[in-house]
């Protein structure tokens, strides 16, 4: 069994906490509660006969990734960068932030996701996927779409 530290980053209000709650507890709340500091949760997954403990760090949201306390990010095995597809401000600096993370923390895997696909009109996800090809995955913490797949993809990258 191996443990991997995954840090969830992204702007405030994009649904980082909701994403983790959906993955770990399979719950969702419409209420928005600002995260201060860091919450750490854990979930064990089995990937290709490997048992992996995912230790997930839920950081407080910020528009500037350099504002995150560096101590939280040390020793991270993988980052999940969460954006809100309905708020362009949350993904306009994605490229620069990915560069920063790579420069500061080595070549750790980064998966960029667009959350809140549940707010899109039915049938428009395929178009959104094309428009937002800079994102690796479109997810919905509310409906659970692609959440499991996201963490499994990260776990696979980490044990590869």
The contact set with other proteins (CB under 8 A) reads 3, 5, 12-13, 32-34, 36-42, 53, 55-57, 60-61, 69, 71-72, 74-77, 86-89
CA distance 131 to 97: 20
Residue 111 CB, shortest distance to other proteins, in Å, is 19
What minimum distance in Å lies between the beta carbon of 124 and other proteins? 15
Cα–Cα distances (Å) from 12 to 38, 48, 137, 145, in that order, read: 13, 34, 19, 21
How far apart are alpha carbons 151 and 45 in whole angstroms?
A: 9
Nearer to other proteins among residue 37 and residue 123 (C-beta): 37
Shortest Å, Cβ 13 to other proteins:
5
| Shortest distance (Å) from residue 28 CB to other proteins | 18
Q: What's the closest the beta carbon of residue 5 comes to other proteins, in angstroms? A: 5
Residue closer to other proteins by CB (options 38, 128) is 38
- What is the separation of C-alpha 62 from the centre of its chain, rounded to a whole number of angstroms? 14
Task: Give the residue with the Cβ less far from other proteins, 73 or 137.
Answer: 73
Using the minimum distance from each CB to other proteins, give the nearer residue, 21 or 146: 21
- E strands in 34-136: 38-47, 50-59, 78-84, 110-115
Query: CA-based angle 148:27:78, to the nearest 5?
Result: 40
Q: How far is CA 41 from CA 6, 86, 93, 96, 117, in A?
A: 10, 27, 27, 28, 24
**9 bridge partner residues:** 81
Residue closer to other proteins by CB (options 88, 123) is: 88
């Amino acid at each position: 069994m191996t443990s991997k530290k995954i840090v969830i980053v992204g702007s405030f209000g994009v649904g980082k906490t909701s994403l983790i709650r959906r993955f770990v507890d399979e719950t969702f709340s419409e209420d928005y509660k600002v995260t201060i500091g860091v919450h750490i949760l854990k979930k064990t997954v089995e990937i290709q006969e490997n048992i992996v403990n995912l230790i997930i760090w839920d950081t407080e949201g910020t528009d500037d990734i350099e504002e995150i306390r560096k101590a939280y990010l040390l020793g991270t095995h993988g980052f999940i960068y969460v954006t809100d597809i309905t708020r362009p401000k949350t993904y306009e600096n994605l490229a620069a932030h990915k560069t920063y993370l790579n420069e500061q923390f080595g070549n750790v895997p980064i998966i960029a996701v667009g959350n809140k696909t549940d707010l899109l009109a039915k049938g428009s996800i395929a178009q959104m996927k094309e428009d937002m090809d800079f994102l690796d995955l479109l997810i919905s913490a509310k409906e659970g779409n692609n959440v499991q797949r996201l963490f499994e993809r990260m776990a696979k990258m980490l044990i590869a």
